[in-house]
Amino acid sequence: MKFLHERLPNGLDVIAEVTDSALSTSVGFFVRTGARDETDAEWGVSHFLEHMVFKGTTDLSADEINRRFDWMGASANAFTSEEDTAYHAAVLPEQQDEVTSLLARMMRPALREEDFATEKLVILEEIRMYDDQPPFGADDRCRAAFFGAHPLARSVLGTVASIESLPVEAMRDYHRRRYAPGNMVLAATGAVDFAALVESARRHCGDWEPLPTPPRRAAAPVRPAAGEQCIVRPGSVLEYAVRLSAGPPGDDDDRFAAKLAAAILGDGSGSRLYWALVDTGEAEQATLHHQDFLDAGMFATQLSCDPEDARALLERILEVYRRTSEEGIGTAELEQHRNKLAGRWVLLGERPRRRLFDVGPEWAHSGTYRSVADDLRTIEGLSLDDVRRVLDRWPLHGPGTTVLAGPLGADPSP
Amino acid sequence: MKQSLFSARLSNGIVVLGEDLPGLESVAVAFHTPAGAIHDGPGRCGLANLSGEMMLRGAADRSSREIVEALEGAGIQWAQSVSTSHASFAGAMVARQLPVALPIYADILRRPRLPEEELDNARQMVLQNLAGTEDDPGHRVMQALRQLHFPHPWGMPSEGLSADVEGIGIGAVREFVAAHVRPAGTIIAAAGRIDWDDFVRRIERLFGDWDSGATGTVVPGPRGERVRHVPHDSQQTHIALAWSVPPYREDASYEASAALSVLGGGSSSRLFSEVRERRGLCYSVSAGYQTLRDAAAAVCYSGTSAARAQETLDVMLAEIRRLPGTIQEAEIERVRARAKSALVMQQESSAARAGWIAKQWYHLGTVRSLAEELARYDRLTVASVEAWLAANRPAGLTVVSLGKEPLEVPIEVPA
């Protein structure tokens, strides 16, 4: 496995993690832009634009793009998060040039008014779809409350109102500013011909105008708000709760230790919360995970259970956190979860299409590359002291924001 | 592409399958026992699911907790599930841990304690999961569709029904495990970095002296009504359609799944182009092929705002009706390319391959090589797909909607 990097004169980074034994090639464009880079008037534009990129260029229709991906046998998709927008496809190695060229051309979309109007309807359906599903918006609402004035408070999809009022010109302007070559990374993993990848990049992206790289909005440090809110869903069977508290940000050396601490306390199986609440059938789900951003991090607790038990179980979860912080954890427990995480990493690392989602964003965020072996060394080196430090620095039972969604708080009379 | 597939049969009927995948560090192993939900029995829908959960709650000298600690301590990513046909236990791991994993799974399958004191917790866990699925409209509409479309008990939800799960006692669980978790009909499949001879020796040592029980038979009952609306308080209305197509073990299943792929398999499919891209009616719309061993269904799905649901259903039905006689060469080329690349990429995941070779054995009684599978796709032509469609026009559709208001289902649907 080797890592290669080249920068085009206009600032576009081309990177690859090459695995000669791989059977497939994954290629993706990672744009350093997401919900946190939007203004109030642009709320939801990053994700809407991600959809519009598939609607074609001045000389390539949406149907043509869809047909080409399917004709290549590509497994193609895209995602938008708070900090990234990515377009990716996994193909057999012989399709590398074809898929790179298609993705590259798509990065300069036509953004036609009539396509914009039709796709707006699809985005509104996507918003309604998530709104109908557990946790019924509790996750977005909780993040908004937790981050307060920080740009990470903004939800990726936007709202029905923000999408309805978005004009196409705002999207065109956002695209011009944010999709500058210096703000993008072309990444590939698996069986990659790197010379050909760079050649494709030169041919299809070499003439992109080298605009100055747009800065990310400077943000004040997160001051997590403590508090509780309810979203009332009288028809829901279970109650869904999300609790956020502060954790190490992406540039903090403790981010791996934070993931291990989260696994020990709240992995989907074999964790403290699992034995306390899930194994006993008191909760459908009780998990903890750590998520990091450029300048912020958070621990997210998720609970689903019978509505009448929700508050008591939230208290029990905090009690598990408090006790763990006071009494610490044992060596066997550390080892079990460290080995579990390491095993997970090896399995994920074998799949180039999965690796792309580590390699691409890592470079986009920090300009660094970490191999699976690097990550494994870090995970295997984690000690009881590392977990202890994380729990001391970022107390899980400390201030947090909680949002409940479900029948709680509904008017009892029918 | 060179491929190393292996199979063996123990004297008690266990089928052992293996695929060596060079280049991987991992190995995945899956144990499929014939203790599926079709054996639940009347008034006990969920018995297989509850029994599968109980099997993890102590086996031989390990408690529930010690089983999980032993698996996770060795870095094994484990999973347990119950389908219509099987109760399955699986693990994926770094190859050197396989000798640690196998004896643990042997205990779970052969020596489960099924302790009475764990039954209430296990039952509550199953009930919690059932309550969770009540809140998921997509899950509910597909569950209702299967229940109506397939003959009883093949359409029954393998996760169970709350009212039935409430009443299942420890005696029923123990009887179920004794009767259905047995060597005859069990498939053990491993894929990844394996040493086949060593693997078979270990399986023989751990499972060779497991006594075979009798084979269970299931009598097919009636199917449900053709059209149903499920009231649900949601902004979107969910639509699910099904009609019968040949099961995987029949050669015509390739023509059937190719036709369905043209209809709703990729982003250039008819449904995606017409319903989402051109009309912006929904976020998700698709058609796919779902197979049991003796029956299979074409399944279409979409979810959209209540106000636009009728139009969505009408357009979906129009696209289904329009399919015979209109298939293009380019569409078949895309079906072939998508299938080929999916098959090749599957080889990068040990867990996916272990699942695939076991599935093939269950359906076909053999494992087809990748070359043979690819050749079958190469043999697909417009003429072969059209000939199949002409003789098997989509008919007898089952239509389920879930949302605030029922939809109008045209009378001519089963035509």
Say whether residue A61 is in contact with chain B using an 8 A CB cutoff: no
Indicate if B195 and B240 belong to the same structural domain: no
Asked if B286 and B242 touch (Cβ cutoff 8 Å), the reply is: no
User: In this predicted structure, what is the pLDDT of residue A221?
Assistant: 76
**Integer angstrom CA distances of residue A167 from A48, A56, A62, A121, A173:** 11, 18, 21, 14, 10
Q: How far off is chain A from B164, nearest CA to CA, in Å?
A: 17
Indicate if B199 and B231 belong to the same structural domain: no
Indicate if B175 and B285 belong to the same structural domain: no
Which residues touch B374 (CB under 8 Å, ≥6 apart)?
Answer: B340, B343
- What is the average pLDDT value for chain A, to the nearest integer? 95
Q: Is the peptide bond before A234 cis (omega within 30 degrees of 0)?
A: no
Q: In chain A, which residue's Cα lies nearest the Cα of B234?
A: A132
Superfamily of domain A227-406: Metalloenzyme, LuxS/M16 peptidase-like (3.30.830.10)
Indicate if B157 and B251 belong to the same structural domain: no
Asked if B313 and B407 touch (Cβ cutoff 8 Å), the reply is: yes
Which residues touch A60 (CB under 8 Å, ≥6 apart)?
Answer: A105, A106
User: In this predicted structure, what is the pLDDT of residue A261?
Assistant: 98
Q: What is the pTM of this model?
A: 0.96
Indicate if B254 and B394 belong to the same structural domain: yes
Asked if B126 and B160 touch (Cβ cutoff 8 Å), the reply is: yes
- Which amino acid is residue A62, in one-letter code? A
Determine, yes or no, domain membership for B309: yes
pLDDT, tens digit (0-9, with 9 covering 90-100), for B156-197: 999 999 999 999 999 999 999 999 999 999 999 999 999 999
Cα gap A57→A62, rounded to integer Å: 8
User: In this predicted structure, what is the pLDDT of residue B61?
Assistant: 97
Cα gap A7→B217, rounded to integer Å: 65
Q: What percent of chain B has pLDDT over 70?
A: 97
Q: How far off is chain B from A222, nearest CA to CA, in Å?
A: 33
Q: B234 contacts in A (CB within 8 Å)?
A: 132
Two tokens at A272? 């403290």
Domain count, chain B: 2
pLDDT grade for B410, boundaries at 50, 70 and 90:
confident
Determine, yes or no, domain membership for B216: no
> Mean of the pLDDT values across residues B106-122?
98
- 3-state class of B88 per DSSP? strand
Nearest to B195 by CA among B27, B355, B366: B27
Indicate if B371 and B233 belong to the same structural domain: yes
Asked if A138 and A242 touch (Cβ cutoff 8 Å), the reply is: yes
Q: How far off is chain B from A405, nearest CA to CA, in Å?
A: 12
Please report which helix (H) or strand (E) contains residue A391, including its range. Answer: helix A384-393
Indicate if B239 and B154 belong to the same structural domain: no
Q: A342 contacts in B (CB within 8 Å)?
A: 75
Nearest to A116 by CA among A49, A62, A57, A64: A49
> Mean of the pLDDT values across residues B109-137?
98
CATH number at residue B141: 3.30.830.10
Asked if B337 and A71 touch (Cβ cutoff 8 Å), the reply is: yes
Indicate if B33 and B156 belong to the same structural domain: yes
**Residue A243: pLDDT above 80?**
yes
Q: In chain A, which residue's Cα lies nearest the Cα of B118?
A: A280
User: In this predicted structure, what is the pLDDT of residue B414?
Assistant: 47
Indicate if B199 and B232 belong to the same structural domain: no
Nearest to A104 by CA among A175, A165, A53: A53
Bridge partner list, A90: A26, A75
Cα gap A317→A126, rounded to integer Å: 32
Asked if B154 and B84 touch (Cβ cutoff 8 Å), the reply is: yes
Determine, yes or no, domain membership for B339: yes
Determine, yes or no, domain membership for B412: no
User: In this predicted structure, what is the pLDDT of residue A82?
Assistant: 97
> Mean of the pLDDT values across residues B369-383?
95
User: In this predicted structure, what is the pLDDT of residue A222?
Assistant: 78
Asked if A349 and A17 touch (Cβ cutoff 8 Å), the reply is: no
Return the higher-pLDDT residue of A412 and B52.
Answer: B52
Q: A278 contacts in B (CB within 8 Å)?
A: 125
Q: How far off is chain B from A134, nearest CA to CA, in Å?
A: 7
pLDDT, tens digit (0-9, with 9 covering 90-100), for A386-404: 999 999 999 999 999 999 9
Two tokens at B62? 């390990």
Cα gap A191→B284, rounded to integer Å: 32
> Mean of the pLDDT values across residues A336-365?
95
> Mean of the pLDDT values across residues A119-147?
96
pLDDT, tens digit (0-9, with 9 covering 90-100), for A208-225: 999 888 778 777 777 777
Interface test with B, best of A99, A124, A279, A344 (most B CBs within 10 A): A279
User: In this predicted structure, what is the pLDDT of residue A414?
Assistant: 41
Q: In chain B, which residue's Cα lies nearest the Cα of A55?
A: B277
User: In this predicted structure, what is the pLDDT of residue A320?
Assistant: 98
User: In this predicted structure, what is the pLDDT of residue A38?
Assistant: 96
Indicate if B141 and B233 belong to the same structural domain: no
Cα gap A319→A273, rounded to integer Å: 10
> Mean of the pLDDT values across residues A328-348?
95
**Residue A413: pLDDT above 50?**
no
Say whether residue A119 is in contact with chain B using an 8 A CB cutoff: yes
pLDDT, tens digit (0-9, with 9 covering 90-100), for A58-91: 999 999 999 999 999 999 999 999 999 999 999 9
> Mean of the pLDDT values across residues B272-287?
95
Q: A66 contacts in B (CB within 8 Å)?
A: 266-268, 272-273, 277
Determine, yes or no, domain membership for B217: no
Cα gap A276→B65, rounded to integer Å: 12
Nearest to B245 by CA among B298, B194, B323, B197: B298
> Mean of the pLDDT values across residues A346-363?
95
Indicate if B231 and B203 belong to the same structural domain: no
- Which amino acid is residue B198, in one-letter code? D
Q: A131 contacts in B (CB within 8 Å)?
A: 235
Cα gap A410→B233, rounded to integer Å: 15
User: In this predicted structure, what is the pLDDT of residue A219?
Assistant: 73
Cα gap B240→B316, rounded to integer Å: 10
Domain boundaries, chain A: 2-205, 227-406
Determine, yes or no, domain membership for B27: yes
Locate tokens 């649907």: which residue? B413
**Residue A115: pLDDT above 50?**
yes
Return the higher-pLDDT residue of A412 and A140.
Answer: A140
Fold of the A2-205 domain = Cytochrome Bc1 Complex; Chain A, domain 1 (3.30.830)
Determine, yes or no, domain membership for B219: no
Q: A119 contacts in B (CB within 8 Å)?
A: 280
Say whether residue A24 is in contact with chain B using an 8 A CB cutoff: yes
Q: How far off is chain B from A108, nearest CA to CA, in Å?
A: 19
Complete DSSP assignment for B212-241: P-PPP---------SEEEEE---SEEEEEE
Asked if B298 and B399 touch (Cβ cutoff 8 Å), the reply is: no
Asked if B23 and A21 touch (Cβ cutoff 8 Å), the reply is: yes
Cα gap A200→A179, rounded to integer Å: 18
Indicate if B142 and B185 belong to the same structural domain: yes
Bridge partner list, A297: A292
pLDDT grade for A411, boundaries at 50, 70 and 90:
low
Nearest to A69 by CA among B267, B336, B270, B288: B267
Q: What percent of chain A has pLDDT over 70?
A: 99
- Here the ipTM equals 0.94
Say whether residue A112 is in contact with chain B using an 8 A CB cutoff: no
**B132·A134 Cβ contact <8 A:** yes
Determine, yes or no, domain membership for B109: yes
User: In this predicted structure, what is the pLDDT of residue B1?
Assistant: 55
Beta strand A184-190 with A13-18 is parallel
Its domain, for residue B395, covers: 227-403
**Residue B2: pLDDT above 70?**
no
**Residue A286: pLDDT above 60?**
yes
